[in-house]
Chains A and B, each alone.
Chain A
């Protein structure tokens, strides 16, 4: 993955196993978010392939990838701010709705049943992240931590196999961070695979099954949390070389 002459990520070989929580860590500018953008089809890798559930998804458009079962949250929250919290989660169920234009105009029984189902599902997802009380409020006016949780609910509402979380605890206090950690382990219990970018090492070490470390777009280490903790290369990347 190159941006002009700048190498963002090079020759990255990552493998995410089903049902695991995997973290990507690395200093700022290591290329973590670029990896996410490639995986979700927002940018196309210059070289290399991305395979998901035995299928090549490298050249698919973002919405096609979403419909294959990859969803994500964003580092700089990207909610549909001027719509209600409930509607944010309803939009995410877009691909599952069958009725089209004619159904919407006629508003027959099947359409109404479907809409009711979408609504109920949306409340379920909001309940999952604890935002039911805010359902009718405007998404943009939620408190910061709640906005992050709404993004997770919205990602979950696309019914993905793999969820990419881009710094879900950024800017949170310890209590909110704890809540998000719980949320992630509950996502895992639901059978979702999770790929996580995170700077808070406590979070990373505690909930990850596997960690990959990037620096300057190159993977410098990979392994279980305990292995990474003591890895000399990783420590060097974060703290610099000992003189």
Chain B
């Protein structure tokens, strides 16, 4: 019976520095009360189980009848997404563009972490390389977005290959440390090479993309551009996942030795995964630079890597829809919780901890992949 009281105490401790004694006591009462009620109710849980079962049967029935309507619902969803810029104010459009950029990033990282099982803590480096590649090519050489894009993604993918030379000799934690180092090195170079990258001041005056004579400066234009690229990322990763390449990646994640016995060149496919993931990060970077019209090393810190990793893990490692859900939650939630500023990181952290305890495979568990092994 003491368990609810202790857990309530924990919560009030967390609250104490932010809201003072009064709120802490209130919190303690609420949490302890709810938890004791739950323990008290546990004898009745069998009945609750029955209720849940009926609920599941019912929802399955509705699902079955809904399947006929899926195409209709899908159509409505697509229409909503397409119509968004004409309905919502600019602020939400801005957030939506951010979601799109993160979707590209997270889907890219998902290839590395979710499919192949290589823990990459420096993913933001490739994002930075893509962004700086476009920024520099545009401001120094005058290349426009479409001409610079192949260089940006190519450079990122090449950086992925470069990283894989030392990284592929390592596994698990050691790989994570090397990728972490790579991310930091990239950021420090950008920060300190004043003559080339303008250092911490960043690069401003980056041109917006143009299609023929139409400049994509407006938010709604940009929204469609990001939507297109995010869709392309989703489409391509899904197809590659359902091919021999994707199967090889998953096999490596599951058991590297067994995969090599199945005739898979494990080194080569890990290399593919890193370069493939970096490719999308480079794309996201170039889009980010074009959207912000400004890049600085500040946007590419370690926390950014962690955030992208959280998106992938939250939604469900290896599941594409899960990753998108994770992105939506981690971009939208902090925006919605802006009013309670100091709490949002706390709530987010607590949420992630709880998620890892109760659903280690993420919200939409992709084929049970988790980072536990």
Q: Which chain A residues border B262 with CB–CB below 8 Å?
A: 63, 66, 71, 91-92, 94, 154, 158
The CB with the most chain A CB atoms within 10 A, among B258, B264, B368, is that of B258
What's the dominant secondary structure at chain B's contact region? helix
Contact between chains at B260 and A63 (CB < 8 Å): yes
Across-interface contacts of A104 in B (CB, < 8 A): 239-240, 242-246
Let me know if B251 and A80 touch, CB within 8 A.
yes
Q: Residue of A at shortest CB range from B276? A: A101
Does A95 sit at the interface, judged by CB under 8 A? yes
A40 contacts the other chain (CB 8 A): yes
Residue of A nearest to B259 (CB): A91
The minimal Cβ–Cβ distance linking B369 to chain A, given in whole angstroms, is 6
- A221 at interface by CB-CB < 8 Å: no
Residues of B within 8 A of A230 (CB): none
Which residue of B251, B254, B263, B368 is within 8 Å of A95 (Cβ)?
A: B263
Least Cβ–Cβ distance between A149 and chain B, in angstroms:
16
Does B161 make an interface contact (CB < 8 A)?
A: no
Which B residue sits closest to A107, measured CB to CB?
B239
Q: Which of B246, B263, B369 has the largest number of chain A CB atoms within 10 A?
A: B263
* B248 interface hit (Cβ, 8 Å): yes
User: Hey, which chain B residues are within 8 Å of A80, CB to CB?
Assistant: 250-251, 254-255, 258-259
A63 to B251, CA, bound (A): 13
Interface string of B222-246 (1 = CB under 8 A from A): 0000000000000010011011111
* Beta-carbon contact of B261 and A66 below 8 Å: yes
Count class of interface residues, chain B: 20 to 34
- For A158, give its contact among B243, B263, B266 (CB under 8 Å): B263
Question: B221 within 8 Å of A by Cβ?
Answer: no
On whether the beta carbons of A62 and B260 are closer than 8 Å, the reply is yes
Contacts between the two chains (Cβ within 8 Å), count: 98
Report which of A66, A82, A87, A100 forms a contact with B263, defined as CB distance below 8 A. Answer: A66
Contact A79 B242 (CB under 8 A): no
Q: Is residue A42 contacting chain B, with contact meaning CB distance below 8 A?
A: yes
Query: In this complex, which of B239, B243, B251, B257 has the most chain A Cβ atoms within 10 angstroms of its Cβ?
Result: B243
Q: In the complex, A83 Cα to B266 Cα: how many Å? A: 18
Closest chain A CB from B171 CB (angstroms)? 15
A59 at the interface (CB under 8 A from B): no
Q: How far is the CA of A140 from the CA of B262 in the complex (A)?
A: 18
Query: A94 touching B255 by the CB < 8 A rule?
Result: no
How far is the CB of A87 from the nearest CB of chain B, in Å? 6
Interface residue A67 (Cβ < 8 Å from any Cβ of B) = yes
Contact indicator per residue, chain B 340-369, by CB within 8 Å of chain A (1) or not (0): 000000000000000000000000000111
Residue of A nearest to B370 (CB): A82
Q: Decide: A67 near B245, CB < 8 A? Known: A83-B250, A105-B236.
A: no
Please report the C-alpha to C-alpha distance between residue A62 and residue B260 in the assembled complex, in whole angstroms: 6
A83 and B367: CB pair below 8 A?
A: yes
State the Cβ distance, A57 to closest chain B Cβ, in Å. Answer: 14
> Would A94 and B254 count as touching, CB distance under 8 A?
no
A104 to B241 Cα, complex, angstroms: 9
- Name B's A-contacting residues (CB within 8 A): 236, 239-240, 242-248, 250-251, 254-255, 257-266, 367-369
13 A–B contacts, CB within 8 A, in A order: A42-B257, A42-B261, A62-B260, A66-B260, A79-B258, A82-B368, A83-B250, A91-B247, A95-B263, A97-B244, A101-B245, A104-B243, A155-B261
Residues of chain A having any CB pair with chain B under 8 Å: 40-42, 61-63, 66-67, 71-72, 74, 78-83, 87, 90-92, 94-95, 97, 99-101, 103-105, 107, 111, 115, 138, 140, 154-155, 158
Closest 7 CB pairs of A and B: A104-B243, A80-B254, A62-B260, A66-B263, A95-B263, A78-B258, A82-B368
